Amino acid sequence: MADTASSERNLPRQGTVPASAAPLESILCTEELLNRPWRPPDRENENSALVALVSALADSPQTILQTLADKVLEILRADSAGLSLLTKDEKRFYWAAIAGAWQPHIGGGTPRDFGPCGDVLDRNIPMLFTHWERRYPYLSEAVPLADEGLLVPFHVNGKAVGTIWTIAHTSRRQFDAEDLRLLESMGRFASAAYQAVESIKDLRLQITAREKAELALRELANRLDVKIRRLFDSNIIGIFIWRKDGRIIDGNDAFLRIVGYNRDDLISGRLNWRELTPVNCRGVDERGMAELEATGTVQPYQKEYLRKAGGRVPVLVGRAIFEERFDEGVDFVLDLTDQKKAEAGAHESERRYHE
């Protein structure tokens, strides 16, 4: 459908039914199509029109509607031809493509509820009009006047969203059943081509939006990586990157000091956080992993690590996972040795005080 804002430029005045307007039936002559002299199907011209539409779709998809108008004008030997599309608010028809005598009127249109295009969409059938300005006075501004106008619905995804029309400005040219067949045939093909063009546009918009989102996400991730790396390298707190199977794939110096290992031990791949955890602490680790998997977060908890030289070190562990992969995450480790000594000292002092 056309953009409402762009269609405001040359639209005729909003039409209303005047008291003197001719009845719709008085300007319809659709049944005459079958009574006019019969002529055999013009397959050669029909095929040439379809080939032109295929070429337009392949070479310059944005011209598909104008190519349709040009070929309708040529194949039907009309004086004017074009295509009207509903605006987004569906209140008007926008003349999206015009060929022939009416070409200067491109960008104009008609009201949805009071005009030939609206009548065709309401009934969803082809219609042949004669001197439609007798019912729709605003069309008297579109010169030269139409002696006959043949319109067929234009469908997109099964919905009628406009009309394809062809006009004879004098009585020397009268449309017949073969003209209707050709118009409907080109319309069906153009509809499929137009849907393909619109699908490509939608796909491009989706790709552009996704690329923008991915770029913003990468920029955010890069900023976060820089901040995390600064925290990692600051060694204010122990940090290590883990795999769910227990492997420690990176760690800062603060963490290595806590467990008493060096960087060679880390690089060799010998460090495993599950193996560094005493048996009596593995239950709290498993509960933490289950909570992390279920909710994406885990409350910091206390546990112990086994040191390389022997003994244990009490720690407070905070844990998070990387959003793109659950099998990788990061642990933040705070050494509680001094705190535990202070607590033990306080308890001893309290015991002595009571004694």
In this predicted model, what pLDDT tens digit does every residue of 185-204 receive, in sequence order? 888 877 776 765 555 455 45
What is the C-alpha to C-alpha distance for residues 327 and 14, in angstroms, rounded to an integer? 64
> How far is residue 30 CA from its own chain's centroid?
41
Contacts with 97 (C-beta within 8 Å, 6 or more apart), sequence order: 65, 66, 68, 69, 82, 83, 106
CB atoms within 10 A of CB 301: 16
The tens digit of pLDDT for each residue in 71-91 reads: 899 999 999 999 999 988 888
Cis amide linkage into residue 144, ω under 30° from 0: yes
Give the whole-angstrom CA distance, residue 44 versus residue 183: 14
**131 or 218, which is more confident?**
131
CATH of domain 235-354: 3.30.450.20
Residue 344 neighbours by CB distance under 10 Å? 10
4-206 against 235-354: fold identical: yes
Enumerate the domain spans of the chain. 4-206, 235-354
Residue 104 is given by DSSP the state: G
Q: Mean pLDDT over residues 168-187, rounded?
A: 91
Q: Please give the mean pLDDT across all residues of the chain.
A: 82
Q: 329: which 2 tokens?
A: 């995450």
Interval 236-252 mean pLDDT: 88
Give residue 125's pLDDT.
Answer: 92
Q: Which of 52, 104, 92, 78 is nearest to 165 (CA)?
A: 78
Name the 3-class secondary structure at 355.
Answer: coil
Q: Distance between alpha carbon 82 and the CA centroid of its chain, in Å?
A: 30
Give residue 200's pLDDT: 46
Q: Which CATH superfamily is domain 4-206 in?
A: GAF domain (3.30.450.40)
pTM: 0.54
**Distance (Å, whole) CA 216 – CA 212:** 6
Burial class (CB in 10 A: 0-12, 13-18, 19+), 248: buried
* H or E stretch covering 324: none
The kind and range of the H/E element at 152 are: strand 148-156
The dihedral formed by the CA atoms of 203, 204, 205 and 211, expressed in degrees to the nearest 10: 110
Could you report the per-residue pLDDT of 271-305, keeping only the tens digit for each? Answer: 999 999 999 999 999 998 888 888 877 888 899 99
| Angle, helix 43-59 to helix 64-75, in steps of 10 degrees | 160
Region 190-219 average pLDDT: 61
Q: Which amino acid is at 64?
A: I
